[in-house]
Structure 1
Amino acid sequence: MTKTVLITGGARGIGKAIADEFAQDHDVAITWLSTQPVDLPDSILALQSDLTKPGAAGDVVAQIIRRFGRLDVIVNNAGQVAPSPVDAHDAPALRTILDVNLLAPDALLTAALPHLEPGAAIVNISSVNAVLPPMGAAIYGASKAALNLWTRGMAKELGPRGIRVNAVAPGAVNIPEDPRPDDLTELFVRETALGHLARPEDIAAAVRFLASDAAASITGEVLTVSGGYRL
């Protein structure tokens, strides 16, 4: 059965890989904020949206329903990564991290819920930093830890409706548009059991599995895809 899949932040990096994966055999919509999609197939609905703004989530869902008539899978990939040094509290910047990484997925779920049927799936993109606090960016790590807890909480609340909620936690991933310097990549590689970093396509494959009927009895889980980082 062809499903309709929404990927937030789907114009580049991991989000684009997820969109490409699902676009092979499903209807796909993506949101983007500042990075305009390029070379996008006409079959993919691309919506510019700031999901932290009041009403934005409802507008996105409404446009998807008008185009495809249904919504089956939401992938909350859009994220805000920013430093939060302990000696430089910046309340507006820190609030943006929480707004994007935690509150936007909640707003989107609320807007989409009337359209989600039993068998629908939510997949959140978390991070290994939810359990391995990044130096100088603890608020980012805390936002992903909160997203993990929200994942479990929504799985519990939505389970009776037949809606599953899971997360994928990538480790360090080099994206084609903005790879890390070789020396930094090597530093991360030395910390992995498999001796290589996960690729965006690896994250996309994990998301597809959790969204699929093959994972029909999996909910409330956080699947780490990191090459065995810091085992």
Structure 2
Amino acid sequence: MTRTVLVTGGAIGIGRAIADDLAQDHDVAIVWHRSPPQGLPDDTLAIQADLTKEGACADIVEKLIAHFGRLDVIVNNAGAVRSTPLDSFDAADQHALLAVNVLAPADLLAAALPHLQSGAAVVNISAVNAVLPPKGAALFGASKAALNLWTRAMAKELGPKGIRVNAVAPGAINIAENPRPAGLTELFVKETALGRIGTPQDIARAVRFLASDDASFVTGEVLTVSGGYRL
């Protein structure tokens, strides 16, 4: 039976690469907020939603189940990246960042849990900044550190149900829709053991592994996919 995957933030960038990769042999639904998806396969379900709004996650799951009848894999890719220097602290802005990066994955998993069977998998998209604090963006790093801890906690909580929960922590990834300046890319390349910047497809392949039965005895792990950034 074909498995069904839900990818949040699946319209562009890393999320789109994950959705396209898994669509080769899965039924796929994506959630998008501000960037309408272009050129999706006809059988991909696209749901527009703001994950931080009350009731949004339950509505997403309801629509997916009505369309596909099952849910097997959740990829929590949607996230916010913001500069958060302390000397210009904006409480509302920081609450919004935490709502997307930490609370939305929890809300979505809670809404989906009644539909997840043994063998289901959750893959959260973290960042190397969870352990390498970004200057001027401390709360972003803290939000990803919280996501890593939540990943391990959910693996422990849901393991008895046969549900695996892991994360992928990308390093520097260049996204076609929002490429880094050449100079900044060069700096990242110099700090990376493999001598290149990452691609969204690098992350998609890692997600495919963690979502698959090949990783059936892997849970509670954070897989760093950074090319050896800052070793």
Pairwise mapping of residues 66-105 of structure 1 onto structure 2 (< 5 A)?
66-105=66-105
SS of equivalent to 2:75: strand
- SS state at 2:88 partner: coil
Question: Which residue pairs with 2:161 in the alignment?
Answer: 161
Distance in 1 of aligned mates of 2:158 and 2:113: 10
Report how far residue 182 of structure 1 moved. 1.1
Aligned partner of 1:109 in structure 2 is: 109
Amino acid across the alignment from 2:165: V
Distance in 2 of aligned mates of 1:206 and 1:154: 20
Q: Report the CA distance between 1:9 and its aligned residue.
A: 0.2
* Distance of 1:120 and 1:111 partners within structure 2: 14
Q: How does 1:1-231 map to 2 (within 5 A)?
A: 1-231=1-231
Q: Secondary structure at the match of 2:111?
A: helix
Instruction: Tell me the secondary structure at the aligned position of residue 87 of structure 1.
Output: helix
The TM-score normalised by the length of structure 1 is 0.99
What one-letter code is carried by the residue in structure 2 that aligns with 1:196? R
Q: Give me the identity figure in percent.
A: 70
Counterpart CA distance in 1 for 2:171 and 2:43 is 31
With normalisation by structure 2, the TM-score equals 0.99
Structure 1 gaps, min length 5: none
State the alpha-carbon separation in 1 of the partners of residues 70 and 97 from structure 2. 30
Following TM superposition, where does structure 1 have runs of at least 4 consecutive aligned residues deviating by more than 6 angstroms? Answer: none
Q: How many residues align?
A: 231
CA distance in 1, matches of 2:2, 2:137: 40
Q: Deviations over 1:112-143 (max 9, x none)?
A: 00000000000000000000010100000000
